[in-house]
Structure 1
Amino acid sequence: VQEDIDAGKALCNAPLPAWVFEGPVAEAGGVHTAQGSWSAAEQKFVARRVLPVYERQLFPEKLLGEDSLPDWKTAGTTLFENKALRAWTLDKDGSPFGGRVLIASIKNKMHAISPEVMESLMEAVELAENEYQGMVIWSGDAPFSVGADLEATMPAFVVGGADAIDSIEGELQALMMRLRYAQVPVVSAIHGMALGGGCELAVYSARRVAHMESYIGLVEVGVGLIPGAGGLTYIARRAAEKMLQSTSKDILPFLTEGFTAAAMAKVGTSAIESRKLGYLLDSDVIVPHKDEVLFTAINEAKALAASGWRAPVKRLFPVAGRNGIATIQAQLVNMRDGGFISAYDFKIARMIAEVVCGGEVDGGTLVTEEYLLALERKAFCHLIAQPKTHERILGMLNTGKPVRN
């Protein structure tokens, strides 16, 4: 700071206080030490405050030089761990009725969902069902998850073609259904981005606890694909549920918002906007402080279990059918001809419409989630074989920015 003042780079040239250059701070080499942080008012190093309000922050950010706080990567009791995921718990009560909650933390870069993550989450759910009252998906650093691991997916496509991708997508869809119908409540604790498969991981959980600065959305269109792990099935099912709760018999008005969000790869700029897009429900919890997300999620899981939570029952639900597809396609044609979207954007959006409307069936036809998941998988496998999709994927991997072709 003094060097910047001398060089005229600081906002002002006010002299720094004497304690900066001499005394305990100078001897320690900084204002933060293992003993605490320097208090100019008390003229001593003061330890981190220990107040009841801070008990909710299980793993607060460490200050420079501070090493006394627990590290979430090693804290608690590890149940199993591999290179992709750590399953652990903070509960010490050995009783199966002690409100114990399993925590699953993805370890991959950007918490991408690789085949190893899928397998480990399946194992974690089974363990939670057998020995715990709930499960929380949480990692101590952002993002929550950026979705499927493209770097692992493309080599599989090169070697095995569309059949290999169909198998991977089938496993990912099976994971989402496993989370949705688990016999214990699964809570997604979201901080930062939950994109693509990360968004699907969240919406297929029983409950979501999101930090205010959470950015949730289905962004697969940006890499020339459609949401293939249940995201479109979720949109179709939620639209049907909303219609059945209303006096209307037309499902399309309830479907439009979800379709638009997926087709335009909209991402909520906050947890509140993510709720408006439909990725968070009114029953989900938004937390102002990111360090309180895990505490809240664990208690949500315990509360759900204590209140007699049960997994949803599989039901048939109506879809918009071919008439819905035709209505949406007419709007897409206008956007394409008006130059608002490219021809390939039109193709992808048309395929999204086919899935969320349930394909070429009559409006109001009752379908299962498995039927829509099969439509998702078929469209996904078709698109991943297209050259323009390859251009978008490679562009995203190389530059981190979407390619418009």
Structure 2
Amino acid sequence: MINKNIKKVAVLGSGVMGSRIACHFANIGVQVLLLDIVPKELTVEEQAKGITEQDQSFKNRIVNQSLGTTIRTNPSPVFSKQSLKNITTGNFDDNMKDIAAVDWIIEAVVERLDIKKQVFDQVEQHRQQGTLITSNTSGIPIHLMAEGRSDDFKRHFCGTHFFNPPRYLKLLEIIPTSYTDKAIVDFLMHYGDLFLGKTTVHCKDTPAFIGNRIGVYSMLVVAHLLEQLDLTIEEVDKFTGPAMGHPKSATFRTSDVVGLDTMVNVAKGLYEQVPNDEARELFKLPNYINKLVENKWLGEKTKQGFYKKVKDEKGHSEILVLDLPSMRYRKQQKVKSTTLEETKSIDNLTERMKVYAHGKDKAATLFRAMHYPLFEYISKRVPEITDDFFRIDDAMRAGFGWELGPFQIWDALGVQETIEKMKTEEKRLPGQSGEVASWVSEMLAAGHTSFYKIEDGKRKYYDITSKSYKDIPGTASFIVLDDIRATHTLWKNDGVSIIDLGDGVINAEMHTKMNTIDAAVIEGINKAIDLAEQQYKALIIGNDGPNFSAGANLGMIFTMAVEEKYDELNHAVKLFQDTSMRIRYARIPVVVAPFNLTLGGGCEFSMHADFVQLHAETYMGLVEFGVGVIPGGGGTKEFTQRASDAYREDQIVQNVLKERFLTIGQAKVSTSAVEAFELGYMQKGKYAITMNRSRLLADAKRKALALADAGYTPPSPRKDITVLGKQGLGIVYVGANSMKSGNYISAYDQELSEKLGWVMCGGDVSAPTKVSEAYLLQLERQTFVSLVSQKKTLERIQHMLTTGKPLRN
């Protein structure tokens, strides 16, 4: 692999993909030059302002407007507004010469070969030898773009297909040509994984590569089955959603989000480009899809597709669904399924697949009807689109959000058992014969019963060439708890498993629903600290679930409050606080590894750790105000302490307190790991960001060992925290009253604000005073318990439990 340091990237083309790719490189600190064409003529507005065709504002209008549109999209393509400082815009006429100073050129212009070749002609005039050059394309053969180029260009040229949006979708397909230097391919695979946070998938230069070839096939299978099985749109989306391990948008809502025209274009392209594909006829679109395209009902971009958002007679938003027989929109009907009901109590997705496979209702019938042709199809795409079947699983998980790839699902159902059922399936789609590829039969005949197996805590795949199991390339740096849990678990209760990660490091893995923190979790975290202090070097708190933690178990708090068990509630909050403080003062280093939702108590645990190794996509916040309480697991104390540490003689200290106060009072949640620092949840020098979620636990382990090996000494409990007393409380009261008078907050929000201010200002003290952590924790706990006894807080908690949304009462 070549040793390259990517400091500057040029992105040619500022459309939807170009601008978003530029933003993602800017997120990781790379300097980006974003270029596009010069407009053909001045607009009326430009003429009115006296702008000429020589002005940069005219020449860069297209690129600046495109980037501006991208920046305003939600969710944001950048981790922080600060990332935008890394992007410089320009145009092809004036700035193409500047690509001579970059390390990597990414072409992302319109999907037309002739235009791409024109751009490459310009690139060849200015590009320095040895500079990486890649094309972001979803459909044009990569080898056609390399034709006629210089030898150095060809050696350093490759396809890099980012999935949209690049910040959030993990798939990055790497598509070399026969000319591409292998060292370049290895570099791109590694760089995409480590620095861009991607699942990098090596693809052959075949139509639609891997992700779209299999993903669009699987969506079209369902599209054809819709009519064959007499299903409705909402039934299909209910059956093929989260219960099946697919995204919440399932099948048809995903089509609306992506744009029906996008799927249609890929399908039509495949029909034209794969004349020898046995399932080619399946890429012909069902009539109802053609009707939608004719009507220009393309999904969210046209405000209607399979679904349409409208206002009802009361002005409330409502999402209607398309009734295919009439081609009219109607109210959605409630979908019932015995199979789905049975899957609700099964957390393990592999076991859930078996329920689907053996069910008798519509959901189960669709499951089998969509997976049997898919299994047959993917088996026959090896070695056409890839030599290694596991890359198909990688592409479907990273590009389409499946929790299990198709070969993993096949394994879950039993490979041989499923093949027997596939042979007897009566209703078949175009290209479906019930026969799988010969390599699968040969694998089974040799006594290998599954595509994957776990050996010595590592997941291995069946290698077709050697007819043996091998380590999956690139995974040596990953720690996958699913693979080691069975053999490395030291202790377990209903809330936590303590798992030995080797080298003297153990991990406390939460596994409650949404990883909410209850009595079992508190017991498990404390047990893990006990074990680590007695026998190990360090402790990590992390897991492989969908979210790190949604915070405290509200149901438990609500039950205690309703039953007026205030002594028990006080004790429970004290245990929570004590656990946060044990994380802070344990005799061994404690590293927390948060990702995705890290709310309330999950945030408080992170704030008390020696170090936080967090994933780039971490949505962290103290959100307790939304349910009518203040942070009670040490969060209020911690923000008071951090405000105190930031006070300086040359500043108005009340403003520092106000900033911390508002972060809690407005329940601010970070939209990235970078913003978690900007909001004050993370502290400089005490956190690091991992781009690739698959590397998070391994990175946390390395940091934990580094702290331990450096001769870790726990900090001393704090007794020097400055609180402002009535001086600060006056500011809080005036601010809360002003917000209430302006109707920005309710009367109860005002009361909550005053209670929070009372704790953060030190309670009943008249002047700035130094207090201890223990003192602040007692104030925090007393206030928390007193608020939970209030009717309006109970109303807020109940509303959150029943609707999942905050109530402003």
TM-score (norm 1): 0.87
Q: Does residue 82 of structure 1 match 2:426?
A: no
Shift in Å, 1:315: 2.5
Q: Please name the residue that 1:63 is paired with.
A: 405
Q: Map 1:288-367 onto structure 2 (within 5 A).
A: 288-316=691-719, 317-367=721-771
| C-alpha distance in structure 2 between counterparts of 1:28 and 1:73, whole Å | 24
Q: Map 1:142-161 onto structure 2 (within 5 A).
A: 142-161=546-565
Shift in Å, 1:251: 3.3
Alignment deviations for residues 370-404 of structure 1 (CA, whole Å, 9 cap, x no partner): 11111111111111111111111111001000011
Higher RCO (C-alpha 8 Å, min separation 6)? 1
Does the CA contact (< 8 Å) of 1:211 and 1:271 recur in 2? yes
Shift in Å, 1:314: 1.5
Alignment deviations for residues 232-286 of structure 1 (CA, whole Å, 9 cap, x no partner): 100011111122xx44475323222211010011101111111111111222001
Shift in Å, 1:62: 5.2
| C-alpha distance in structure 2 between counterparts of 1:173 and 1:346, whole Å | 25
Does the CA contact (< 8 Å) of 1:180 and 1:206 recur in 2? yes
2:555 alignment partner AA: E
Q: Does residue 266 of structure 1 match 2:668?
A: yes
| C-alpha distance in structure 1 between counterparts of 2:715 and 2:682, whole Å | 17
CA-based RMSD: 2.6
Does the CA contact (< 8 Å) of 1:268 and 1:274 recur in 2? yes
Does the CA contact (< 8 Å) of 2:564 and 2:789 recur in 1? no
Alignment deviations for residues 283-338 of structure 1 (CA, whole Å, 9 cap, x no partner): 20011111111011111100111112211112322111111011121111111011
| C-alpha distance in structure 2 between counterparts of 1:325 and 1:27, whole Å | 64
Shift in Å, 1:45: 4.2
Task: Identify the match of residue 133 of structure 1 among 500, 525, 537.
Answer: 537
Distance 1:255 1:41, change over 3 A: same
| C-alpha distance in structure 2 between counterparts of 1:207 and 1:221, whole Å | 26
Q: Please name the residue that 2:269 is paired with.
A: 14
Alignment deviations for residues 320-368 of structure 1 (CA, whole Å, 9 cap, x no partner): 1111011121111111011010000000011111111111213331101
Does the CA contact (< 8 Å) of 1:19 and 1:26 recur in 2? no
Task: Identify the match of residue 520 of structure 2 among 116, 121, 124.
Answer: 116
| C-alpha distance in structure 1 between counterparts of 2:481 and 2:793, whole Å | 38
Q: Please name the residue that 1:279 is paired with.
A: 681
Alignment deviations for residues 3-58 of structure 1 (CA, whole Å, 9 cap, x no partner): 65999984233343233539xx979424279xxx845355x444559xxxxxxxxx
5+ residue gaps, structure 2: 1-216, 228-259, 281-371, 393-402, 409-451, 460-479
Does the CA contact (< 8 Å) of 2:599 and 2:622 recur in 1? yes
Q: Please name the residue that 1:29 is paired with.
A: 376
1:292 alignment partner AA: R
Q: Report how many aligned residue pairs link the two structures.
A: 380
- List structure 1 segments (4+ residues) > 3 angstroms apart after TM superposition: 1-10, 25-28, 37-42, 44-49, 66-71, 246-251
1:113 alignment partner AA: I
| C-alpha distance in structure 2 between counterparts of 1:102 and 1:292, whole Å | 16
| C-alpha distance in structure 2 between counterparts of 1:273 and 1:176, whole Å | 23
Q: Secondary structure at the match of 1:147?
A: coil
| C-alpha distance in structure 1 between counterparts of 2:650 and 2:774, whole Å | 26
Q: Secondary structure at the match of 2:739?
A: helix
Does the CA contact (< 8 Å) of 1:216 and 1:274 recur in 2? yes
5+ residue gaps, structure 1: 50-60, 92-98
| C-alpha distance in structure 2 between counterparts of 1:218 and 1:112, whole Å | 14
Shift in Å, 1:156: 2.2
Does the CA contact (< 8 Å) of 2:718 and 2:772 recur in 1? yes
| C-alpha distance in structure 1 between counterparts of 2:564 and 2:738, whole Å | 38
Distance 1:26 1:227, change over 3 A: closer
Q: Secondary structure at the match of 1:275?
A: helix
Q: Secondary structure at the match of 2:481?
A: coil
1:366 alignment partner AA: K
TM-score (norm 2): 0.45
> Who wins on radius of gyration, i.e. which is larger?
2
Does the CA contact (< 8 Å) of 2:390 and 2:407 recur in 1? no
